[in-house]
Amino acid sequence: NAGVTQTPKFQVLKTGQSMTLQCAQDMNHNSMYWYRQDPGMGLRLIYYSASEGTTDKGEVPNGYNVSRLNKREFSLRLESAAPSQTSVYFCASRNSYNSPLHFGNGTRLTVT
Amino acid sequence: GESVGLHLPTLSVQEGDNSIINCAYSNSASDYFIWYKQESGKGPQFIIDIRSNMDKRQGQRVTVLLNKTVKHLSLQIAATQPGDSAVYFCADGGGSNYKLTFGKGTLLTVNP
């Protein structure tokens, strides 16, 4: 069982470059999420998709866009990377409200 | 705003001892809570969850206690092992939306 798969695992960008973080889940979950994790800040929600065809902003959406490509895939795009976006990004999914999130192993992004 | 907090940022125990990790929440409408374990370089891993209609739930070597009166939950790990060394997060389901709010985490160190 792969669970939640994120690619790439590591990425270094220069300020102003763009990139897309990919996420796919094979658990047939309805909801998918993107979090960032920074030292001392915990996990902060960037965007989420409660079901296929819908996306909503989380706590820190500025500088990001998302696409729920289908039920399995949810991508996160940085249009113009900034050093403040240096972080570890986690994708997660769950079947429904009141069920646990299942996380991928993260993408470690450095913006110089 | 709503918050999920942890009483202790670090906890050091001897192998074989029981560990207790505490968490406070502030949203009185929250009805679902989750504990996660995160090892270095990995994504958060689901441990156990509890709904607000329960006071206690047990898993393998872990017990979660929920006190709705004082808005507090705890994770108890029995016979702590070196493999339990990790950061532990509580998460708050927040009531009727799809978003989880995470605490900043407690680092558990198990000394052999």
Q: Does B94 touch chain A (CB under 8 A)?
A: no
Q: How many CB atoms neighbour CB B109 within 10 A?
A: 14
Q: Does B41 touch chain A (CB under 8 A)?
A: yes
Rg of chain B on CA atoms, in Å:
13
Tokens representing B3? 């918050």
- pLDDT recorded at residue A49: 94
Q: Does B14 touch chain A (CB under 8 A)?
A: no
pLDDT band at A42 (very low <50, low <70, confident <90, very high): confident
Whether the per-residue pLDDT at A111 is higher than 50: the answer is yes
A47 vs A91: CA distance, rounded Å = 10
The DSSP annotation for A15-37 comes to TT--EEEEEEESS--SEEEEEEE
- pLDDT recorded at residue B63: 98
Distance from CA of A3 to the nearest CA of B (A): 12
Could you say which of A58, A90, A105 has the minimum Cβ distance to residue B99?
Answer: A58
Query: B93 or A26, which is more confident?
Result: A26
pLDDT mean over A10-36 = 97
Cβ atoms of A100 and A58 closer than 8 Å: no
Q: What is the mean pLDDT of each run of 10 residues along chain B (112 residues)?
A: 54 96 89 94 95 95 96 96 95 75 90 92
Comparing alpha-carbon positions, the chain A residue that sits nearest to B42 is A105
Strands A102-103 and A87-94: what pairing?
antiparallel
pLDDT cut 70: percent of chain A above it: 99
Q: What DSSP state is assigned to residue A47?
A: E
Tokens representing A90? 């986690």
Could you say which of A4, A98, A105 has the minimum Cβ distance to residue B93?
Answer: A98
- pLDDT recorded at residue B4: 56
Query: B9 or A16, which is more confident?
Result: A16
For residue A101, list chain B residues with Cβ-Cβ distance below 8 A: 34, 44, 46, 91, 100
Closest CA to B11 of B1, B24, B20: B20
For residue A89, list chain B residues with Cβ-Cβ distance below 8 A: none
B90 vs A42: CA distance, rounded Å = 11
- CA-based diameter of chain A, in Å? 39
pLDDT mean over A52-61 = 94
Q: Which of A87, A101, A108 to probe the B interface (max B CBs under 10 A)?
A: A101
- pLDDT recorded at residue B2: 37
- pLDDT recorded at residue B96: 58
